[in-house]
Amino acid sequence: MRQRKYIPVYIALGMAGLLMALPVLMMVCNSVMGGQELKEAYGAVLGDGAGRLSARLLPVYPTLQPYVELLLDSPDFFVMFWNSVKQVFAILLGQMAVGTLAAWAFARYEFRGRKILFLTYMILMVMPFQVTMVSSYLVLSRLSLLDSHLSLILPGIFSTFPVFIMEKFFRGIPGEVFEAAKVDGAGELTSFLRIGIPLGSPGIISAMLLSFLEYWNAMEAPMTFLKTKAKMPLSLYLPEITADQMSASFTASVIMMLPAVLGFLWGREYLQKGIEASGLKE
């Protein structure tokens, strides 16, 4: 009885939700369309411009052929895919090492300069890429790191965003736990490794997930700091797939989307917690 008044709400949300999910659904469905069928459907937009568009959600003749073609016959795709993987995971590992330590320092200790340093980290977090673009370029060129994987990885590792997220989680660990550890004679490093890391792991996971989504999607930095095509990540290569590889472009989009969406579905709750943490005031 009480449920009934929610029906309009469900309808509204359902329609909005469909709009949100439509691009994903359509892309996945189209990625199993054969080349001929795609040409008929989208030739007008992505091809030479002749004919009319007849977009359809479900393929008439579903096939996995585009996947086979892309994975076996396009060496470029492979190179770029691995570039993305290398760059993103190097950044994540680095952030995990450097960021957790810093977050721990901010969360657990009252030290001189804490306030101003934390404020600096927060300001750096909100600065758009374009503000630090010149300075990063200059320093990377001085260190002769331009046009290398490291030119993306090193600045990425020292991003302050994960520090900010993890700090919130570390701060949430109740103090009594540490008192108990101290009584047992645990040193500062031990209590970080034995208590901080395990109890703060939801924070670490959610920060890493947010970072993963961010760097998997990276565009500004690789565009600016890389020149050689063979080093580009997938996010820059994808848009270059042209009309003659129409089926490849859908398939490649789906393959690129897959790790992000799977990670997202796996860690949805962590992600949610992470986002909530980003909204907490200090």
Window 68 to 97, contacts with other proteins (CB under 8 A): 97
| The binder of other proteins chosen from 15, 36, 45, 244 (CB under 8 A) | 45
Q: Count of CB atoms within 10 A of residue 158's CB?
A: 14
CA nearest 102: which of 161, 155, 154? 161
* Count of residues near other proteins by CB under 8 A: 99
Q: Which of 1, 49, 116, 227 binds other proteins (CB under 8 A)?
A: 49
Q: How many CA atoms lie within 13 A of 44 on its CB side?
A: 7
- Residues between 86 and 145 with contacts to other proteins, criterion CB under 8 A: 97-99, 101-102, 104-106, 108-112, 114, 117, 120-121, 123-139
205 is a contact residue toward other proteins (CB under 8 A): no
The answer to the question of residue 13 lying near other proteins (CB under 8 A) is: yes
Q: Which stretch binds other proteins (CB under 8 A): 1-9, 69-77, 85-93, 173-181?
A: 1-9
Tell whether residue 60 is a contact of other proteins (CB under 8 A).
no
Q: Which of 62-70, 71-79, 174-182, 252-260 is the region at the interface with other proteins (rule: CB under 8 A)?
A: 252-260
Please report whether residue 58 would count as binding other proteins according to CB under 8 A: no
Instruction: Kindly tell me which residue out of 77, 81, 192, 270 binds other proteins, with binding defined by CB under 8 A.
Output: 192
Q: Which residues contact 34 (CB under 8 A, 6 or more apart)?
A: 59, 61, 63, 65, 66, 247
Smallest distance, other proteins to C-beta of residue 202, A: 15
